[in-house]
Structures are given as C-alpha cells and as structure tokens.
A = this chain, B = another copy of it.
Amino acid sequence: MSNIVLGDKEYFKGIGQVKFEGKESDNPFAFKYYDENKVVAGKTLKEHFKFAVAYWHSFCGTGGDPFGPGTRVFPWATNSDPYQAAKDKMDAGFEFITKIGAPYFCFHDFDLIDEADTMAESQKRLDFITDYAKEKMAESGVKLLWGTANLFSNEQYMNGASTNPDFKVVARAGAQLKGALDATIKLDGENYVFWGGREGYMSLLNTNMKREIDHLGQFLTMARDYARGQGFKGNFFIEPKPAEPTKHQYDFDAATVIGFLREYNLMDDFKINLEVNHATLANHTMQHEMEVAASAGLLGSMDANRGDYQNGWDTDQFPTNLNELAEMMMIFLEHGGLQGGGINFDAKLRRNSTDLDDLFHAHIGGMDNFARSLMIADDILTKSNYSKLKADRYASFDSGDGKSFEEGKLTLEQLAKLGDNTQLTSGKQEMFENIINNYI
C-alpha cells in the first residue's frame, strides 16, 4: 500500500488511508473484501487487478449531463491559471489515489491540464504537467496503466478524428496523437488506448464508410510504427463501443474489432480494452465480450463500470452486481487474467452525488465487489465440479472420430456416414446456475 501523497493542501480532509478491515467491519471507509496482499489463485489481489483510477471522471467530471451543467464543486478547481489549476488537480488526484490505495491511474491528454486555443500552447501545457506527474508518480509509487488522446471532445472532431472526411482534421488528430503517445512513453505508461468516440457516423447518407475505416486502419498503423520507433514496448488497446456519441461507432464490439485488427494486420500489437457498459450497450454481456476477446488471445484490459439495463446510454455507474461480477471473474481466471492491462474504474458518480466522500464510497464498493467476486470465482473453479461438468460436455471431441473432425481430417461424406439420430443430452443450465449461487 502506498503512502498518502499530498500537495500543498489536503483536499479530502477527515479521510485517511482506506484499509482492509474484513467483512464484519461497519466502517464505511474500510475495505470489507479487498485485501491487496491476499493471494488468490497464485497472485495477490493487487497483482490480479492492477486497479486504476480514471483521471477524467474522478477529478475533472463535475456531473454535467445533456439536461444540466455540473453539480460538484471541486476545491482543487479554483485557480484561474491553467498551470496552477492542473497542479492542484494533480495534487488532489494523487491524494485520492494514494488514500484509496490504487496502484495505477489512467488519463486522456487533456484531463491532466486544460487544452489551449493553439496546439503549440496545448503541447507546452502537456509537457509541463507530465513533468509534474513524473514527480508525483515517483513520490507515490503510483504507475500509469495507460494513456490516451482525447480525440472526441474538441469541436474539430465533430465529423470524426482519424475518420474525418477532411484530411486537415486527420492531420490535427495525428499531431495530438503524437503528443499523447509521447506523454505516455514519458510516464512509462504500460499501455496505450484508442477509444474512437467520434470514429463512426451520424448518418450513412453523407458517409463513405469504407474509406473512413481504411483511414482508421492507416492511422493506427502509423501510431504503432511511431511508438515502436520510440521504444514503446507496451500494448495498444482498442476499446469497443457500439454508439454514442455517434449513431454508429466503427469499433462496435469485440468481434468487430478483432475482424478489423485481422484485416489491417494489427493483431500482433493491438489487444482489446473492454468496458462493461459498452458491452451491454452492444447487446452483449460483459462475460460474452471477455470470452470473445480471450478466445482470440486479446483480452488486454478492462474498464470497470456498469450500465443500466432500462436506459439506453452510457451511465458508467460503479459496479455492484455480484452475480455478473462473479461470472466475469470466472472467465478472467479461466483465461489467466488480462494481457498487460488492469481494471480501470471508468465509472462516475451520479450527478446528484455531490459530497467529496462519495468518491470514496464508490471506489470502495467497486474494489470490494471485484475482490469478493474473484474469490467466489476461484472457489467455483477450484472447489466445485463446475469445470469438470463443462469439460465433460465436449469429451466426444477428445478422441476418435470427434477428434478427427476437430482436426479437419474428415470429409463431409465421411462425417455424413457417421450421422444418425441420437440421445438428447440436457444442457443442465439451471444446475450450472445453482452452482454459481452456492458460492456467492
């Protein structure tokens, strides 16, 4: 657990380091399940999860929505000088990160400091604040899970960034991308993420989809080549989302992204950063998306949150559902965890959660729920007959004709000769479901 790292003042007064006290504790500012040193399935919880705090939601987002402005008043957002304001925000950020005990953080370039009117000034600001970040990281031991460029907020990107119909905007996006890659490398970021918020379309009527997707492939290829040339050894991640703010986003879901990576020869460098709420907006469970990505060896990282099954937009709530988390963690363990990434809390407080301590409640709940779910999943996989029951269903492919089929050694005529009516075998879904709940 890192020491608390403060700047010139303390922002979250009255709250010290959040500690593990166990499930019987009634201290709302203690972990009930997340004991970072506890070993489960051969690794500590800290190593399994590599929890990261999302800079944007936690230290920048004041709660605005399409029907009203922000509600949260941040004591670190009072200075009119953008440089000092950015330092204050970073002091508050590292205070929170070290108090909650997360070993990582994640950022978009202009989360760290406000973007300026000119690109030159923006780059200067970025250089300044990444210098300061380097100091804070060294002092605290907190690391950068991943960096990314915000290529969706600026009005320049209203028609897309790398997929903009206007090459001038693509070039602007390229310049910003280079700055974000440089910043990530400078801070020893372990990974770099692409979320293409505006890489899609509002209307097919005015869109040349093929040409836009080709440009996206070109852009990512250039990014990869540049970063590798700069010595970056980390992973590149693409984060799928089906829509919002666009009507359709090209990185719709894991399967779409995998198809894209394969087509544009990016499979060796890129993996997938899945987000729960994006999965459900695409009409998939998160478990499904994890299985799809992991089956391709591309389960890179995860953005932890949840959506609302009755609403159709990205609500980015903190995760609470134990059944869903336990099933997610089963897949997590079955596939040996994440490929290079971690668990980033891309989750935000509700607009009407306006107390400073609400950020603690939210993260404590999220981290506890993950820890608890991992332990449940480990129990199911190691103490119950779950894995055996599942493997047994496929036993007919482990030898004989079934194995020959799987290995591609049968022709259709040979297969057809083996075919006849057979006994039905129950899928026993309800029994499988009972096993899960017996371990929650």
Tell me if A408 counts as interface (CB < 8 A to partner B). Answer: yes
Identify the closest chain B residue to A158 (Cβ).
B352
Cβ contact within 8 Å between A420 and B172: yes
Q: Which of B314, B412, B422 contacts A223 (CB 8 A)?
A: B412
Whether the Cβ atoms of A419 and B322 lie closer than 8 Å is no
Decide yes or no whether A218 CB sits under 8 A from chain B: yes
Verify if A101 is at the interface (C-beta below 8 Å from B). Answer: no
Considering only residues 156-194 of chain A, those with a C-beta below 8 Å from chain B are 156-159, 165-178, 181
CA distance A210 to B321 in the complex (A): 26
A260 to B254 Cα, complex, angstroms: 12
The reply on A369 being an interface residue by CB < 8 A is yes
How many copies the complex holds: the figure is: 4
Query: A421 contacts the other chain (Cβ, under 8 Å)?
Result: yes
Contact of A327 with B204 in the complex, beta carbons under 8 Å: yes
The reply to whether B247 and A310 contact each other, CB–CB distance below 8 Å, is yes
Q: Check if B203 sits within 8 Å of A429, measured CB to CB.
A: yes
Checking B69, B221, B401 against A155 with a beta-carbon cut-off of 8 angstroms, the contacting residue is B69
Whose C-beta in chain B lies nearest to the C-beta of A169? B422
Q: When A155-B69, A413-B178 are in contact, do A208 and B394 touch as well, CB less than 8 Å?
A: yes
We find that the number of chain A residues with CB closer than 8 angstroms to chain B is 153
Q: In angstroms, how far is the closest chain B Cβ from the Cβ of A83? A: 21
A406 to B263, CA, bound (A): 16
A437 within 8 A of B: yes
Q: Are A438 and B32 in contact (CB under 8 A)?
A: yes
A285 near B: Cβ within 8 Å?
yes
Contact A350 B203 (CB under 8 A): yes
Contact indicator B206/A68 (Cβ below 8 Å): no
- A383 nearest CB neighbor, chain B only: B26
A171 touches which of B285, B352, B411, B416 (Cβ 8 Å): B416
A15 adjacent to chain B (CB < 8 Å):
no
A252 interface contact, C-beta 8 A: yes
Is A268 in contact with chain B by the CB < 8 A criterion?
no
Q: How far is the CA of A309 from the CA of B324 in the complex (A)?
A: 12
If A245-B67, A393-B206, A429-B206 touch, whether A419 touches B349 (CB-CB below 8 Å) is: no
Known contacts A158-B351, A176-B419; 17 further A-B pairs (Cβ under 8 A): A23-B438, A71-B158, A159-B352, A168-B396, A203-B433, A205-B327, A206-B429, A222-B415, A252-B253, A283-B310, A320-B436, A349-B430, A353-B428, A353-B429, A354-B426, A361-B434, A362-B430
* 13 CB-based A-B contacts, threshold 8 Å: A65-B66, A66-B245, A67-B244, A158-B424, A166-B422, A167-B396, A169-B422, A215-B397, A256-B256, A283-B283, A322-B323, A358-B428, A440-B440
